Structures are given as structure tokens and as C-alpha cells.
Structure 1
Amino acid sequence: MTALPPVLVIDDEVRSVEALERILEDDFDVKKATSAREAEAILADEAIQVVLCDQRMPDISGVDFLKGVRERWPDVVRMIISGYTDAEDIIQGINEAGIYQYVTKPWQPDSLTLTLKNASRLYKLQRENELLAVELRMSSTRAERVVATRRADLREHYAGDDGIVREKSSPMNDVCDRMRRVAPFDVSVMITGESGTGKELIARALHYKSLRWNKPFVVENCAALPDELLESELFGHKRGAFTGAVEDHIGLFQRADGGTVFLDEIGEVSPRLQAKLLRVLQEGEIRPVGGQKTRTINVRVIAATNRDLEAEVQAGRFREDLYYRLAPVTIHLPPLRERLLDIPPIARALIDKAQKQLGKCVKGLSPEAVACLKAYPWPGNVRELQNEIQHALIMGPQGGVIGAEHLSRRVQQAAAGPSPSKLDFAGVDLSLAGLEGTLRERIESVEAQILKESLIRHRWNKSRAAKELGLSRVGLRAKLERYGLEKIEALPLEPAKKRA
């Protein structure tokens, strides 16, 4: 049975609304409102085609209300009904609110019904016209050709060096070798590692090296949405399944049919959704929220987490059967602090990318800057390094070399050594805990760290460093000679090279 066109009738007089409903209910799905606020709530929740609004209402005029409707819901056909035939009101309604029809009281039932039918037909024609315009801009054949070309480009990108920037002796070589071995086999893969280590990059490489490379690859961050929205995003929903579900929605599993679904932060999924995911993996079936029928799908699932899921299973927070379905093969990514050799090529690749985004060019990184980057522990891994490179590029000179002085303070301090200001709750300086020797030797070690950090920040400008530290230039020079601190000339590094 075809659904009736939904129309919204607005009038502050309840009897008028009920009279209109009796006339229109055989041909339309009539929604009623007696105030502007009530009408806006209905428009937000329902897919209304036509609004029939009274002109004279206590809180707002019909024309003013429909002006707002035009801005927020421009596709809705707007009509005014009034017992007053003021020419200025009619002109204002047409010009400002885009009124389709001005209906005068008393209205004739047959005439009003016909007018609303024409308005509903206009709404449908507008929607069809939009769809036709889209089809004219991109025919299905052309769209398929564009998508195929982009997928082929991505496959080529991941073919040579797996899309992972690294040195020849990088710890990532073992990771990439394991990834290449797993990719052709149609099994689920669990990728583990700290946040920002590049788990999604490995997932994409797995997809584009698999037999599903020419099918969709879709991504969902399971920690980014509450349970109800995540369930809708993954499995889809039917119209009316919940408040705001004004139309059917296709979920990611159905969109990725034939391809790969990447579920990031899988450890954040609730027990209820874990059960639904298990059915997908076991039976290859999904059922949209609010739907009665199941749909068969064919997808490969790649999951990622920064948690210890085995410990979560032991604690009863993650289903054991789902874990073994998701992790027949696991790939662990090392943190960036364990990939010191990879930091220079990654930094150069990030500079190349940031230069295109920001429209600013530099020659490269100085050896001092590289030393600072290697000394910093990078708790946020590659994602944090990317932010740091953007900061340095913005602060650095146009066409010049990014030096250590252009890096953020925390990275500069890492190159100088542990900060002597970090105390634990007991008042014990944690950064001094590993120092050995007499009291004088330990104090000298801390003093050398402070001198080095200040010189790096001031680009080895001794006058500025001396002023900051409250020393004379002669006194600073004596301390530098005493501690063997000499300036390293800032030279640009070679351009980034991809690993073949």
C-alpha cells in the first residue's frame, strides 16, 4: 500500500485544525500543530511535503513562520490560509516566504484538496528533478569509471612500499611482511597498537593488497558514537525505528558488501552490540534497526584496538567468542619511540604533505631539529608528530630550514634531557633518580641540560641564552667550554625518499 503524502496543518484554533483534518485525512497523512514551536518540532522529526499555515496566530504571523521554514526546510511546499485578503500580506508572503498558494477563508473542501494534491505533486517533481540533475552530472558509467580509476591508483600506491614510510632497517619491515602474507587470505585481522601508530593505514594496505581491492573500503570509529547511533551506522535502520528516523538508512555493512569494513577502537563496543557483530561474522547476516528481515552480506572485517583485548576477555568485558572470530590473525604496530630510524623519513613525508596544505615551502630539517624529534618520546605517536611538523612549518622561515628553535617547547626540552622541574607526589625529582655521582656531579649534569635546552631554543644565540639564564656572555662561554657543549651547524636534510 502506497503511503499517503504527509502534510502539516498549523492553526491556533483547535476546531479549525480538526475541520481541516476531516477534509484531508482520506488523501493525506495529516499532522497537526496549534503553535509555531509544535510545528517546528514536527518538521524536525517528520518528512513533511506541504505546510498549510494560518496567517493570524498569536505568537507569530504565518508569513514570518514560513520564512523560517523556507530557510531550514527549503524543499517543503509552503501555503497560507487566511480570512483576510490584504494585498500587502500576499505580496510579502510570495516574495519573502516563497508561498506556493494563498488560500482564502471560507475555503471549499474540493478546491482545497485539489490545491494540496498539486502542492504534493510539485514537491515530488522537485525531488525527481534534483535526482535527474545529479544523474546528468555524473552518469552511472562515468561514476564507475572514476571510482575504478581511484581504486587502481590506491592499489598502486600500496603496491611498492605498502604505503608505509620507513627506513630500510625499520622495525616496521616485519609488520609489513606479516601484512603482505595475510592480505590475500579472506580472514578477519586484528590490528593492535597505541593510538596514532597508523592502524588505519595498515588496514587500508590489507584491503588494497587483497582480492577485494576493487570493492568498497569503509571505516567506522566505534568509540566516536553512542550505542544507538553506532548500531544504526553499522546495520542501518528503517523509517520510524526511532525519533528522527524519517527515512530508511543503509548501514556500513551493506554499503561495503563485497569489500572490507574497518572497525577502529573495537574494544569500546558494548556487550549488546558485540552480540550483533558476532552474528555478522558467524552467519554473514545483518538486520537493520526496526526491520523484520535479515540481509545476507559478504564483507571482510578488519578490527583495531589500543586495548589488551585478551585481558578484557579475561575480565569479562569482551566476548571471548567474538574475540576469536575477529583475531584469527593479529598484527601489532610498535610505537614511534621504538622506531627512531623512521622519524626522519616520516617527518620529511609529513613536511611534503603540510607544504601542500599550508602553501608554504621550506628546504628541510636541520640536524638539531632531527635530534630533538628523536629524543622526544611521542606519546601520541605519528599523529602527534604530524601536529608538531605543522607547528614547525608555520613557525619556520619561508624557503629556509626548520631548526630546533621552531619546534614546540616540550620537544626542545626532550633533546636537552629530563626536565629538573618534574616532581612526583612525594617531592622527589623523578628526572634526577637515574643520576649517579656526587652531589656536585649531579648538579653539574642538571646545569648542562638547562644550558643545552636554552641554547637550542635560542638557535645557539649566546647573548639571548645568557640574558635568559642571568649570566654574562663570558660566564656562559666558560660554562659551555666546561661542559663540552658546542654548536652543530644547521644543515637541511636530503629530501624524503620512498623505500622501494
Structure 2
Amino acid sequence: MNAPVLRRLPAVLVVDDELRSQEALRRTLEEDFEVFCASSAAEGWEILEMEEATAGVRVVLCDQRMPGTTGVQFLKEVRQRWPDIVRIILSGYSDAEDIISGVNEAGIWQYLLKPWQPEQLLLTLQRAAELWRLQQENQRLSLDLRTAEPALRRRVDSKQEKLRSTFGLAGLVRAPGSPIEPVCDLVARIAPYDLSVMVTGESGTGKEMVARAIHYESSRADKPFITENCGAVPDTLLESELFGYKRGAFTGAVDDRIGLFQQADGGTLFLDEIGETSPAFQVKLLRVLQEGEFRPLGSNKSVSVDVRVIAATNRDLEADVRTGRFREDLYYRLATIPVHVPPLRQRPMDLPLLAGRLLEQSCAALGKPVRGFAEATLARLAAYAWPGNVRELQNEILRLVALADGELLDPELLSPRLLHGPATPLPASDEWTDGLSGNLRQRMDQLERRVLLAAMQRHQGNKSRAANELGLSRVGLRAKLARHGFTEA
């Protein structure tokens, strides 16, 4: 009997009934993947069954519109038979509603919009193949954990930490065209450098998740990530929490305590709600940031630390600086790189994916096997304004899972505020969308042109500053300007 052929490249199955599109996808992927192509769902199914005996396909990339069935329906069937295969769908804007309604049942990991960009497509497929590999490794580690000796258990914990660090940036859930995409691009660019970062945004938008992504995408990923909510602790306690103290430093200090700065040595310290601290405490924090050392309370010796500080606030700190409530020198020390996280109401395209991710987490936390959302439930979630942002969405889905009796989350389980309309009604008209015409793709192009024009006007034609604001490279900005007919002066 012939020995099996060892596959050197991960395999991907492309299902697309348009042969030109199929060939373009093959050419883009063939250097990094072994590419199998199918012109129909039936042909794709035959390839999967053939490949099953030889460890097979890791990723399926499927077009939404095909004769006889949709991409979503095909991926539902793939999930039932081969749940470990990572499923990606390719579609146009007009297919978004069909995909959203089936995203949970099909277990779609990502969807890409046409026309796709080769670099984005290849990067997405590479991440999908890596996700498949890590899922297999995680399953093996889980099995090992049940029987491992303590020494092996420590090695397994280390590998699981590596798994978390690998997907630090991927933990920021977003759809193509999301306002979070420029944030992710900025995180990827600044993470390798030990610069202080100020993350701003409304409460509940996920500022801590952005901070974690910066940490886990950096060279400090194998070191501690320590958090402190500065707004929840009085100044006197905050100082002892951050800097530590010696025994006898104050009443009740019966033992030495190592502060959070020292615990985070080599890693990252995340200071949430930094805007709530007093000017007196801000002076002490500024000294640590400038000199890289501090004195624990009650000690006469300084302790040196190597810590990257990421701060976050939902306040307008620039206004606080003008009124004297926040020190200007500390603000500029903390805000070397500002990162703004948009509210959930500005990210409607992300809501189905976020809801799906939070549903998985809620089911795991509560131990309830809920399959997904009823279509009407997902529609109500999309219609709500989410003043509490992602945190409010997370709490709502926890509630739904806790109350659910069946496999689907029905709309009658929703909180009254969601059933009876948005808590913060969305405006019926907005100056940015007034006058847009045509189909969704055409309106998105018109809106992009307005955003580009406004950014260039704000920065008086300076492309570098406009590109930085929009999370683009200078070359990328010039390409977009050219596409929309803006000519060089």
C-alpha cells in the first residue's frame, strides 16, 4: 500500500460558481495554501469527504450566492459534519441581511465584502488557518489537563497563555468597514513600541480590551498585564495599591506589600478611569513615569521598574487640563499615543458578530447550550441604541441565556427597554447621511468621500496628519483620494 502524501501547506476549500472569481482566489492563495476549488455546494461536499481521510481542509471560503443553495446554508451543513473547519463567507453588501440572520447557525468566523483586496484576503486566511491549528492544540491541551502531572500542567498553562497572546488583536471583534478597524490598525502599529497610550471612549466600549490587545501584541506579552480602576479607590488607598508599603507604614500595615507597579515589572499596567484621580496623586504618578522608580510607603529606598503604562478615561481630559483639574504635564506623558474607541451605536455592522461572541462566552459561563438568536431577537438588538455600549450588550445576553428554555433566544426574553424601543432614540436624519443616494455600496462610497474631504479640510491639506487620524498609511490615503477624484494641488 502506498504511503500517504504528507501535506506541507494548510488546505483551503474555495466554493464559488464563477470560474473567473474562483481562479483569482486560487492565484491569491496558492503560494501559502493547497487550494481545492469547487463550483457548487455539492462539488464542495465531495471534496470535503475525499479530504476527510487525509486530515483535510482547515478553512472553507464560500461565496454567498450560488445556484441551488446559499453560502450560509452550505456552511451550516459543513459545521454539522466538520465543526473544526473555520468557515468564511464572501459576499456583496446586498447579502448582509441574509448572512446576519444565519451567522450563528453557520458558525461563520468572518465575512469578507466584494470586491476583496488580495492582502486582506490572504491575511484573513492565514489567521483562519492559525486559528484551526490552535484549536487542535487547545483540544490536546484540554485532554492533557485532565491527566497531567503538576510539571506538565505548568507547561500546558504556558501554552494556553501563548494562545491568548496570539489572538490579542483578534479579540477585538469587527466586521469589514467597521469603525474599529482603524483602531486595530493603530494598535498593530504602536504595540511593538514602549510608548504610553491613552485610550478614550464612553463607558463600556471595551477600552480594557484595547489595552489588552496592545499588551498581547507587544514583546511584553509573556509578562504580567495588571489592571487598576483608579476611580474606584480613594487616593490614599490608590497610592498604597500602586506603590506598595512597608510594615508599619500606617495603622494596619502588619506586613510588607508589593505594589501593582512592582507586580507589573516587565509587563503592562492599565490604569482605568485615570481622569478621576486628584492633582495631588497625579504629581506622584508623574514622578514614577518620568524616572521609572518610586518609593513604597514607609520605605527610604527607591524601587526601579520597567513598566509600560496604558491609561483610559471616559472624560474629556483636554478640557480638564484647561480648567486645571488634570495636570498638563501628566496628560502629555500619558497620551503619547491617543486611541479612541467608538461607541457601539456607531458600529451597527459589528453587532451580529459581537452578539455571537458574547453568546458563546455566556453559554460557557452559565453552562447552557443555547444555539443562537431568533431572527426577531437579533433585529431588536440591532434596533437598540446601546447607551451602555458593549458592557450593556454583554449583560443583556447573559440575561437572555439565563432565562432561555430552548435552543434559540426568543424576543420575549429581552429586557423591557429593548422590547419597547431604543433607550436613546437614534436621530431620523443626520448631516453626514443627508443627500446620499443609490444602493448601499454607492452611498458608502459617497460617505467615504465626505469623510476624506472633512479630514483633509481639518488638517489644511496635510496628508500625514489626515492619514493618522483616519488610521491609514499616507500611501493608502493618497490612493483613496485619487479614487474619489481629489487631484494634487
**TM-score, normalization by structure 2:** 0.55
Cα distance in 2 between the residues matched to 1:331 and 1:302: 10
Aligned partner of 1:407: which letter? L
Name 2:470's counterpart in structure 1.
none
Name 1:155's counterpart in structure 2.
165
Summarize deviations over 1:383-413 as a string: whole Å, max 9, x none: 11111111112223322x2122111110011
Q: Is residue 404 from structure 1 mapped to residue 411 from structure 2 by the alignment?
A: yes
Summarize deviations over 1:474-499 as a string: whole Å, max 9, x none: xxxxxxxxxxxxxxxxxxxxxxxxxx
3-state SS of paired residue (2:257): coil
Are the aligned partners of 1:362 and 1:402 in contact in 2 as well (CA < 8 Å)? yes
Residue 154 (structure 1) shift = 1.5
Q: Is residue 280 from structure 1 mapped to residue 288 from structure 2 by the alignment?
A: yes
Q: Which of 380, 383, 391 in structure 2 is aligned with 1:383?
A: 391
3-state SS of paired residue (1:220): strand
Are the aligned partners of 2:387 and 2:424 in contact in 1 as well (CA < 8 Å)? no
Cα distance in 1 between the residues matched to 2:423 and 2:242: 48
Residue 311 (structure 1) shift = 0.5
Residue 309 (structure 1) shift = 0.5
- The within-5 A match list for 1:54-133 is none
> How many corresponding residue pairs?
282
Name 1:302's counterpart in structure 2.
310
| More displaced stretch, 349-358 vs 313-322 | 349-358
- The within-5 A match list for 1:43-442 is 145=155, 148-158=158-168, 162-399=170-407, 401-414=408-421
Name 1:126's counterpart in structure 2.
none
3-state SS of paired residue (2:227): strand
Cα distance in 2 between the residues matched to 1:356 and 1:265: 29
Kindly name which structure, 1 or 2, has the bigger radius of gyration based on alpha carbons.
1
Residue 243 (structure 1) shift = 1.1
Runs of 4 or more, structure 1, over 4 Å off, are 141-147, 415-418
3-state SS of paired residue (2:232): coil
Name 2:67's counterpart in structure 1.
none
Gaps of 5+ in 2: 1-148, 430-489
Summarize deviations over 1:34-76 as a string: whole Å, max 9, x none: xxxxxxxxxxxxxxxxxxxxxxxxxxxxxxxxxxxxxxxxxxx
Summarize deviations over 1:116-146 as a string: whole Å, max 9, x none: xxxxxxxxxxxxxxxxxxxxxx98x879746
- The within-5 A match list for 1:451-490 is none
Cα distance in 1 between the residues matched to 2:424 and 2:310: 40
Cα distance in 1 between the residues matched to 2:422 and 2:267: 45
Are the aligned partners of 1:360 and 1:398 in contact in 2 as well (CA < 8 Å)? no
Aligned partner of 1:326: which letter? L
Residue 417 (structure 1) shift = 10
The RMSD of aligned alpha carbons is: 2.5
Cα distance in 1 between the residues matched to 2:154 and 2:331: 36
Aligned partner of 2:200: which letter? T
Cα distance in 2 between the residues matched to 1:362 and 1:301: 39
Are the aligned partners of 1:372 and 1:415 in contact in 2 as well (CA < 8 Å)? no
Aligned partner of 2:416: which letter? R
3-state SS of paired residue (1:289): coil
Cα distance in 2 between the residues matched to 1:354 and 1:150: 20
Cα distance in 2 between the residues matched to 1:152 and 1:417: 41
Cα distance in 1 between the residues matched to 2:367 and 2:377: 21
Q: Cα–Cα, structure 1 residues 417 and 367, in superposed 2: closer, same or farther, change >3 Å?
A: farther
Q: Cα–Cα, structure 1 residues 416 and 259, in superposed 2: closer, same or farther, change >3 Å?
A: closer
Cα distance in 2 between the residues matched to 1:362 and 1:178: 35
3-state SS of paired residue (2:258): coil
Name 1:489's counterpart in structure 2.
none
Are the aligned partners of 1:371 and 1:415 in contact in 2 as well (CA < 8 Å)? no
Cα distance in 2 between the residues matched to 1:330 and 1:376: 29
Cα distance in 1 between the residues matched to 2:206 and 2:368: 26
Residue 361 (structure 1) shift = 2.0
